[in-house]
Amino acid sequence: MRPRATPARRIVSLAPNVTEMLFALGAGDQIVGVDNYSDQPAGPVDRIPRVGSDYQPSIEKIVALAPDVVFSSLSANRRETVEALERLELPVFVTDTRTLSDMDRTWRSLGSITGHAGESETQIVRLRAGLAAVARRVAGRSRPRVLVVVWNDPLYVAGRGTFTHDLVELAGGTNVVADVTGFVRYPLERILRLAPDVIVLPTHAAVDQGPGAVGYWSRWPELPAVRTGRVTAVEDAAIIRSGARLVEGADLLSRLIHPDIAPR
Amino acid sequence: MLACAAMIAARTSRKRLGLAVGVLFAGLLVALLLAIALGVEPIDWASGAVWRPGTSEHAIVMSVRLGRALLGAVVGGALAAAGVTFQTLVRNPLADPYVLGVSSGASVGAALAIVAGAGQGAPLALGAFGGALGALGLIYRLGVVRGRLVPHVVLLAGVVFNAFSWAVIVVLASLSRPGTTAEMLIWLMGSLSAPDWLRLGVASVVVAIGLGALIALAPRMNALVLGDEGAHSLGVDVPRTRKLLLVTASVLTAAAVAMAGPIGFVGIIVPHVLRLIVGPDHRMLVPSSALGGALFLSTCDTLTRMSFLAIGSEPPVSVLTALLGGPFFLVLLWQARDKRAT
């Protein structure tokens, strides 16, 4: 995308994390269209026209909204979508936010394109301070072994190189599946051997795999997490999405990993 | 004289049946032992921890490895036996639950159950069964022209139904929430995982009953090979036998699909290999295919589990059966072509 002189006034966001961040920047009322999976912040986002799924949004709808910028995400959207929009001479900005260290860059890009550069710096400071506060709180404590399950059956876990991994480590835990990279299928028998103390299930799994998602793990009382009742479902947006709620996610994880931390 | 010859023939065929079943059963035991012995985690067998409940060794060996190997055996046995039955019914060696659209029907039923939020319990199994039976009923109806089953119409109907089912599933997936879509697509990949014992038990009983029925129907399947008139002249009630076989094979397919998702090629490869080894007699072919299917799928799954060590992730077992089955299928077609040419 060419650098632009004036801030974008008509924005289409094709990724839930970007939508969330735009609202946090105060650019919510510049958004004219979002993808179907953008669900945060609940309420305001529901009043914005939808343009289809992340995977295959309606190009026609996007064009009809006459945006002056379309935000996409490298992980959520396809290259075909970006190319189709560029062929129609719509300015597309592709965000690439894979780990915590990418956050500053994404905040700054979104801020400068939408005319909220000042607010993006505030968000970066808030993110750093918030994460530092969580890190301080868990400093010097033992580091329980944590497993974040993305999917129960077949088993998919959050390995290294994911936000979830960064947040777990920051919140005072040790990610037991740091031997793999990304969200990958993982052998159950190795989990039994690794014996995590805490198992975290992002709620999209808990909801969509039926109410038994937490109960599913009760089949393995050999696991310390199961024996001590520390298998918990949490909202996925806070710990999997690289959005505006990372501090909230880190805080939540730190309390699950260290239950003795005083409640807020 | 004739009676004497028949008796000798019966005795030798019983001996051969015993031999084939014995060898395959021994093979299956070896496959199960390998499935228990092999895995990504080393097991200290000498410590005896494997036998003590509550240890990770016990959970790994008994629950993850043994449970999964048994599930593979049950699913593989069901698919191969269903394959033999479908091949006999439509008198075409390329028929199997996958090709005929029975697996697709079961998948649509299961996808509907997932969309309805039923999770992976009994509703999914019932959905799969309903879908399997519905698909087969429809395809069978189309395939019977003027009271006679026309095999190529059945196969063609199956192919079209597969494409249609896939479209229905994609529509369901795109209308669902992201989590539901993921659940559906993951399930559709067809894979095995450590089952809970109750589900495995129920599926095993269903599959055992189905196999028992097929073994009992094997002499009549032999008669069906002679064609409708031929079978009729031997005193076989052809329409009734067909219905029994259809329902039984659908039940077997549905049980397999409900437990593991759609897994292709087991129903083709295994019966073909065994037809070459034990011959076309269904009294031999049905039990040996069931055992062979069990052996094949549990072995494939052991390889799948072990592949994590090589590639750092575990592909669904259906990928391996397809990688082995695809070329196999093409070789079969090639050989058939050579035969036609000569």
pLDDT (0 to 100) of residue A206: 41
What does pLDDT average to over chain B?
84
User: Which residues are bridge partners to A73 per DSSP?
Assistant: A95
pLDDT confidence of residue B11: 59
For residue B47, the chain A residues in CB contact (below 8 A) are none
For residue B145, the surrounding DSSP H or E stretch is strand B144-145
Which residues in chain A are closer than 8 Å to B308, comparing Cβ atoms?
A: 186-187
What chain B residue is nearest to A218 in terms of C-alpha separation?
Answer: B196
pLDDT of residue A66: 87
Among candidates A153, A193, A219 on the partner chain, residue whose Cβ is nearest the Cβ of B60: A193
Out of B59, B120, B178, name the one closest to residue A220 (CB). B59
Question: What was the pLDDT predicted at B118?
Answer: 64
Per-residue pLDDT at B211: 96
Residue B9's pLDDT band (cuts 50, 70, 90) = low
Q: Mind listing the pLDDT tens digit for each residue in B186-229?
A: 777 777 887 778 888 988 999 999 999 999 999 999 888 888 78
Q: What is the pLDDT of residues B282-313, one digit of tens each?
A: 998 999 999 999 999 999 999 988 888 888 77
pLDDT > 90 in chain A, percent: 17
**B177 chain-A contacts, CB cut-off 8 A:** 208
pLDDT in tens, B23-45: 999 999 999 999 999 988 888 88
Determine whether the interchain pair B193/A188 forms a contact, defined as Cβ–Cβ distance below 8 Å: yes
Q: Summarize the confidence of residues A128-148 as an average pLDDT.
A: 91
Which residue is closest to B313 within chain A, CA to CA?
Answer: A185
The per-residue pLDDT for B217 is 94
pLDDT digits (tens, 9 = 90+) for A174-224: 999 998 888 888 888 899 989 999 998 877 644 444 456 777 888 888 889
Per-residue confidence (pLDDT) for residue B120, from 0 to 100: 59
Give the best residue of A58, A156, A188 to mutate against chain B (max B CB count within 10 A): A188
In this prediction, residue B273 carries a pLDDT of 87
Span A16-33, mean pLDDT? 89
CB contact (8 A) between residue B40 and residue A205: no
How many CB contacts within 8 angstroms connect chain A with chain B?
82
Chain B residues inside the 8 Å CB shell of A37: 178
Q: What is the pLDDT of residue B147?
A: 73
Give the residue-averaged pLDDT of A135-139: 89
Residue B168: inside a domain: yes
- What pLDDT, in 10s, does the model give residues B161-182? 889 998 998 888 877 776 677 7
Q: Do B186 and A151 touch (CB under 8 A)?
A: yes
Average pLDDT over residues B102-107: 88
Question: What is the reported pLDDT for A207?
Answer: 45
* B-chain residue closest to A56, CA distance: B174
DSSP states along chain A: ----SSPPSSEEE-SHHHHHHHHHHT-GGGEEEE-TT---STTGGGGSPB-B-SSSB-HHHHHHT--SEEEEETTTS-HHHHHHHHHTT--EEEE---SGGGHHHHHHHHHHHHT-HHHHHHHHHHHHHHHHHHHHHHTTS---EEEEEEETTTTEEE-BTSHHHHHHHHTT-EETTTTSBSEEE--HHHHHHH--SEEEEEHHHHHHT-THHHHGGGG-TTSHHHHTT-EEEE-HHHHTS-SS-HHHHHHHHHHHH-TTSPP-
CB atoms within 10 A of CB A174: 16
Instruction: Test A189 with B41 for CB contact under 8 angstroms.
Output: yes
Alpha-carbon gap, residue B80 to B77, rounded angstroms: 5
Residue A192 has its nearest CB partner, among B56, B183, B191, at B56
Of residues B117, B178, B308, nearest to A204 (C-beta): B178
In whole angstroms, what is the distance from residue B217 CA to residue B231 CA? 13
Quick one: closest CA in B to A52, which residue?
B174
Going by pLDDT thresholds of 50, 70 and 90, the confidence category of residue B115 is: confident
Judge: A185–B313 Cβ closer than 8 Å, yes or no.
Answer: yes
Domain range enclosing B158? 50-337
Average pLDDT over residues B89-98: 81
Q: Nearest-CA distance from B310 to chain A in Å?
A: 13
Q: Using a CB-CB distance cutoff of 8 angstroms, which residues of chain A are in contact with residue B119? A: 209-212
Residue B224 confidence (pLDDT): 87
- For residue B28, is it within any domain? no
Is residue B61 situated within a structural domain? yes
Please report which confidence band the pLDDT of residue B342 belongs to, taking 50, 70 and 90 as the band edges: very low
| Interchain proximity B120–A188, CB inside 8 Å | no
Q: Does pLDDT of B2 surpass 60?
A: no
pLDDT score, position B7: 52
Task: Give the per-residue pLDDT at A177.
Answer: 93
**Does B329 fall in a domain?**
yes
Please give the residue of chain B at the shortest CA–CA distance from A220: B59
Q: What is the pLDDT of residues A42-96, one digit of tens each?
A: 788 888 888 888 878 888 888 888 899 999 888 788 888 888 888 888 888 888 8
Give A-chain residues touching B174 at CB under 8 angstroms.
Answer: 53, 56
Residue B96, both tokens = 């199997």
Domain-located, residue B39:
no
How many angstroms away from the CA of A235 is the closest CA of chain B?
Answer: 12
Q: Is B173 left (phi over 0), alpha (psi -120 to 50) or beta?
A: alpha
Task: Report the residue of chain A nearest B55, measured CA to CA.
Answer: A222
Structure tokens at A142: 């033992």
**Is B23 a domain residue?**
no
What percent of chain B has a predicted confidence (pLDDT) above 70? Answer: 92
Look at residue B101 in the predicted model and tell me its pLDDT: 86
- Residue at B301 is within a domain: yes
The answer to whether residue B146 scores a pLDDT higher than 60 is yes
pLDDT category, A1, cuts 50, 70, 90?
low
The pLDDT assigned to B113 comes to 84
Chain A closest-CA separation from residue B119 CA (Å): 5
| Chain B residues close to A155, C-beta within 8 Å | 193
Q: Do residue A211 and residue B177 have CB atoms under 8 angstroms apart? A: no
Interchain pair B178, A37: CB under 8 A:
yes
Nearest CA-CA distance, residue B120 and chain A, Å = 7
Average confidence score pLDDT of chain A: 85
Nearest chain B residue to A203, by CA: B179
Question: Count of domains in chain B?
Answer: 1
Domains recognised in chain A with CATH numbers: 11-128 (3.40.50.1980), 141-257 (3.40.50.1980)
Give the integer Cα–Cα distance in Å for B22 and B278.
Answer: 12
Contact B224, B285 (CB under 8 A): no
pLDDT at residue A28 is higher than 60: yes
**What is the average per-residue pLDDT within B142-149?**
78
The CATH number covering residue B194 comes to: 1.10.3470.10
Q: Is the ipTM of this complex over 0.85?
A: no
pLDDT at B8: 53
Give the confidence band of B3 by pLDDT, cuts at 50, 70, 90.
Answer: low
Look at residue B151 and tell me if it is in a domain. yes
